[in-house]
Amino acid sequence: MDWIKILTYATHLFSYSFNIILLYVVAKNSKVIKTKGYITHMIWVELVLNFCQHFSVEYVLEAEDESSLHFLESVCVLFMTLQMWTVNTIRYIMTFLMAANRFVCIINPRFSKFFDSETVTFFGVGIWILAFIGSWYLLLLGCFPRFDSETFVLDTECNYLIWPDFVYKSHYLLILTLILNVMIVVYAKLRRSGVFKVVIARVSVIAANRRSRHETMFIIQSLIVFIFMAYDAVYTSLRKIYEPQFNQLPNNFQIFLGWLNIFSANYINFLIYFLFHKSNRLLVLRTIFCDPKWLKNIKVRPS
């Protein structure tokens, strides 16, 4: 299990560092980053997720006596609940809201006023409250989460709903988010082709090809993010359906799949707001390297 500990410590160190830097970047460049309301919520989601994992996963691995495990069952179930339901719900809703924002604004930019930072922040706080209440309601129903240190699986025992069904339903927003992102590109291409009676400024062939490449990359990036975020639903469902086959896999491979299911979510902000976001990437690099000369001449567009 030493290699799992190394992976876990490296993941936490990286995720904490990146999100704190990103939070500083957003605060420092609030006039440039138009989507700061979304990004701030996503940062706190990942920070809370990291903190919950210390008690819902790592504490269990370190616990050696019955008293420690009893403490876990009576107190740390809160952190398991936050990790499994609250932060995931917030992340799914915020990513869907971002896609809806892009979709509505590309159809009619005048509607962008309904998605300003203050509105998104207020709406996000409401999501945090409702998600937390909903998580506690599941606890009242008897849906207590548990972590199996042998197979590295974070699961729940519930007499009122089947876990795979719950996971599928909670991931519908991810499918809708992917569909909206695809529709954005499809609508943009149809509008330029003349299907819709909209005045479109003519651009050079080079600019048109560049825009087409960006649209294609946007679809690929949306698909990659969807795969990362939907891995939980796929893994959980397949593990339940094909449990005998999973049990026959090598123990280290089972542990790695379980670890990936729990900790891959700690890299989603890095994926969305660094690898796939040029403007934010430049701002983060300038912050890390103290505004180096090789980045000074690159302009950062409002995003």
For 259, counting Cβ atoms within 10 Å of its Cβ (0-12 exposed, 13-18 middle, 19+ buried), the class is: middle
Record the pTM. 0.86
Q: Measured in whole angstroms, how far is the alpha carbon of residue 207 from the centre of its chain?
A: 32
Q: Token pair for residue 15? A: 């995720």
pLDDT digits (tens, 9 = 90+) for 149-203: 777 887 777 765 555 455 556 678 888 899 999 998 888 887 777 666 655 656 5
Q: Token pair for residue 250? A: 């090598």
- The residue whose two tokens read 């240190």 is 149
Q: What is the DSSP string of 196-211?
A: S--------HHHHHHH
Mean pLDDT of the chain, nearest integer? 81
The Cα 31–Cα 41 span in angstroms is: 17
pLDDT 10s digit of each residue in the chain, 303 long?
A: 588 888 999 999 999 999 999 999 999 888 888 888 899 999 999 999 999 888 878 877 766 555 555 655 666 677 777 887 788 888 888 999 999 988 888 887 787 777 888 888 888 888 888 888 877 877 777 777 777 777 788 777 776 555 545 555 667 888 889 999 999 888 888 777 766 665 565 656 666 677 778 888 888 899 999 998 888 888 888 888 888 888 888 988 888 998 998 899 999 999 999 999 888 888 888 888 877 777 766 766 666
CA dihedral 258, 260, 261, 263 (to 10 degrees): 110
Element (H, E) at 154: strand 153-157
DSSP lists the bridge partners of residue 156 as: 145
Q: List the domains of the chain with CATH numbers.
A: 1-295 (1.20.1070.10)
Structure confidence at residue 215 (pLDDT): 82
Structure confidence at residue 41 (pLDDT): 92
302: left (phi > 0), else alpha (psi -120 to 50), else beta? Answer: beta
